[in-house]
Amino acid sequence: MKRLVDLDKDEAKTHFLKGSSYFSGDLPKYISFEPILTDVSAVLAGGSYVDFGKNPHEFPNVNYNFLTNKDGKFSWRPYELIHPVLYVSLVNTICEERNWASIRARLEEFKGGIVDCCSAPVMSMDYQTDVAIQIKNWWQSVEQKSLKYSLEFSHLLHTDVIDCYGSLYTHSIAWALHGLTKAKKGKRDKDLIGNKIDSHIQASRYGQTNGIAQGSILMDFIAEIVLGYVDEQINLELAQNKDIHILRYRDDYRIFGNSDEQTESALKIISDKLRAIGMKLGVSKTISCRNVVEGSIKPDKLAGLELQDLGVSNAKTIQKQLLRLHFFGQRFPNSGALRRLVSEFHTNIAKQTETPDDLDVQVAIATDIAFISPSTFPAVAGILSHLISLAPSEEKVLLWNKVRKKMVRVPYNGYLEIWLQRVTKPKAIGIKFESKEAICQIVNGIVVQLWDSSWIKDAKLNNTLDVSKIVIADASDIEEVVQPEEVKLFKENAWAY
């Protein structure tokens, strides 16, 4: 494991230009954005988007948005694929030698004080994914430190930011990198790296100054810069207070103290400093606890410990184990513990090699787990792919059509559609998957537009944006059963949830 800020400029650039950095979620293995990023980078040759066309901030659909549903109903999260030209241009800008040195130095200044940041971006140095390493870092840094603080503190207050990425005020990037006074005086200074980052983000989002794209390692890094600046402001306010300690992981805060008054006073300061950059805390998610050990571990994780082996000793059949998972999912929908348990079940289900009499019941229960908790669908898709592979050939299409008919009732979920296509597209199934989701259409060979590139006037650069290149293998040739390795985020370091 290595910190991102410990990389040199060339290493950082290579890291940001990986397909898994451009979009950090799980995608079927026949989809990758890296070929486009590589071609765009070759044409830009270290340069900026400003040399290749009009100002894109005048165009409303420069980035591509698709949604993932969080609760199967009315709560959803937008993923935003930044226009590759703007993305590569921003990477080039950040990784210029002077700029990268300045950013690294500024991040070092944020360290120390009352607030302990546990979300400094890290990357894998072996086979593991960078996202998995980040999750492992969370487990080691946040939960383990929280438990140790029970020796020093009696009270814990837990809170987080509402819509962190969507509410971030982009001008605050310059405040974070240069200090408020210098940034205000130099708000028109195009040489300031903070202003350059701000202008790139505005250019990709129709000139908006509120919100950054969600779904890439690069934007995680920029959000961390701004939140590090907030840490600095909190540290200045609480510098003399030795009875408080704060752990922060991204937009999640844990405040430790020895009285309600202490923790609530610190909470107010955090709220004030966040409000200055456009963010606010979620009142409904703010929890106060007078036992630090109990409050350090999320309730879903504690409950998940009891269900670690799915109660195999008492629930010996696959159906009973699925029912236990289903019950847990109703108690803790879309929770990290549920994702871990589903992942473990995905790994273990491969031991079932004979077609069970109750196969249709198993499929129904597994599907309903994902229907209630759509965030589990990539791993549930793996479970379903194994179960349905055991069915006679004439029944496979019937079962998959039933699954699909149910899951498409989940509103606003382009991400789920991508994984539905993955499990129904193989030749062994052979379902013609039709979807309004543009990425699914591209996989089907349909020419569609992901990003508005009409602002680009350079023909060679436009040619690099052929979206068919994101399909790096024929989806129909992929194996019928989704292996756990294909769903890396669920498979690796699952205990960190």
**What string of pLDDT tens digits covers the 497 residues of the chain?**
678 889 999 999 999 999 999 998 889 999 999 999 999 999 999 999 999 989 999 999 999 998 887 665 666 778 999 999 999 999 999 999 999 999 999 999 998 899 999 887 765 544 445 555 555 556 667 888 999 999 999 999 999 999 999 999 999 999 999 999 999 999 999 999 999 999 999 999 999 999 999 999 999 999 999 999 999 999 999 988 889 999 999 999 999 999 999 999 999 999 999 999 999 999 888 999 999 998 888 777 777 766 655 555 555 789 999 999 999 999 998 888 888 899 889 988 877 888 899 999 999 999 999 999 988 898 999 999 999 999 998 899 999 999 999 998 888 789 999 999 999 999 999 888 889 999 999 999 999 999 999 999 999 999 999 999 999 999 999 999 998 888 865 444 344 44
CA gap 386, 366 in Å, rounded = 11
Predicted TM-score (pTM) of the model is 0.92
Closest-CA residue to 268 (of 251, 250, 286, 284): 286
- Encoded amino acid at 45, one letter: A
CA distance 424 to 410: 17
- The whole-angstrom separation of Cα 371 and Cα 130 is 28
How far lies 91's CA from each of 17, 230, 280, 315, 339, in Å?
A: 8, 24, 29, 51, 32
Whether the CB-CB separation of 429 and 400 falls below 8 Å is answered with yes
Q: Between vectors from CA 92 to CA 89 and to CA 93, what angle results, nearest 5°?
A: 90
